[in-house]
Amino acid sequence: MTTIIITTMTMSTTMLDDFLIRATLAGLGVALAAAPLGCFVVWRRMAYFGDATAHAAVLGVALSLALSTSIFAGVLVVSLIMALVVSGLSGRTLAMDTMLGVLSHSALALGLVAVSFLQGVRIDLMAYLFGDILAVGRGDLVVIWGGALLVLAMTMLRWQALLTATLNPDLAYAGGLNPKAEQLVLTLSLAIVVAVAIKVVGVLLIAAMLIIPAAGARPLSRTPEGMAVKAAIIGAVSAVLGLQASALYDTPAGPSIVCVAAAIFALSQGVASLRPS
């Protein structure tokens, strides 16, 4: 029995030595974390919200490198701050899409400028903008899957409350729920997803992995729960097929994953258009 356990552990360790297997596991972890959250982003029409939070991650990378701290911690803190700022400013003088556009691009520009001031630090900016999933290590896998499981646990525990607050805030108030508190749960979850996904698909493509699988699942689903499950499946299939296409055609891995997700989205829209009204 001991020999079998040792052999199994050895095989698992050997499998993780393959960078493609590590990349696939990373892609699956991000898809699992982003799927249910992406559904709420679609339902709440918060696409720009995801962009603003993701773009702030570059500033988090710069601060992490300047302070010699964990990239994950720096990105998480800055993304959370941006998400909280956006939530706090919603409903103020400017239209929501205008405010999000200003914050999103300003955060990205500020982050890029901050990176340029770093002295004596080598940084592959393209890897943070578009992801470097093929460079994911074992430690990265722990962070990605730890974040994914945390987001899933938060979403599942608050699923009904989040759904009610999203679909009908007045009904949520009547039921004793606080929609602002539920939005805070979404905000925290979004910051975690951004922090774990930056290594996989990069700042510029995180919002795509949040929105496209959920949007592709929407016309194929009859219930919110079904949409979340289908979004996870679409995200997982996109990660696997995108990596295979990247290896076969020597294309960038992150963008290839998003391209596959976009193709599945187009297919789902075509299927939906063929259904009788």
Instruction: Report which of 70, 129, 82, 167 is spatially closest to residue 254, judged by C-alpha positions.
Output: 129
Residues in the chain: 277
Q: How far apart are CA 19 and CA 231, in angstroms?
A: 26
pLDDT 10s digits, 191-245: 888 888 887 888 878 888 899 999 999 999 989 999 999 999 999 999 999 999 9
In percent, the amount of the chain with pLDDT more than 90 equals: 23
pLDDT in tens, 48-78: 777 777 888 888 888 888 788 888 888 888 8
- Is the pLDDT assigned to residue 139 strictly greater than 90? no
What is the SS3 assignment for 136?
coil
Residues 52 and 104 sit within 8 Å (Cβ to Cβ): yes
Residue that wins the pLDDT comparison between 41 and 18? 41
Mean per-residue pLDDT over the chain, rounded: 83
Please, are residues 234 and 254 in contact by the beta-carbon 8 Å criterion?
no
User: In this structure, is the dihedral angle defined by the CA atoms of residues 238, 241, 245 and 246, taken in order, positive or negative?
Assistant: positive
Q: Can you give the C-alpha Rg of the chain in angstroms?
A: 19
Report the range of poorest mean pLDDT among 78-82, 98-102, 128-132. 98-102
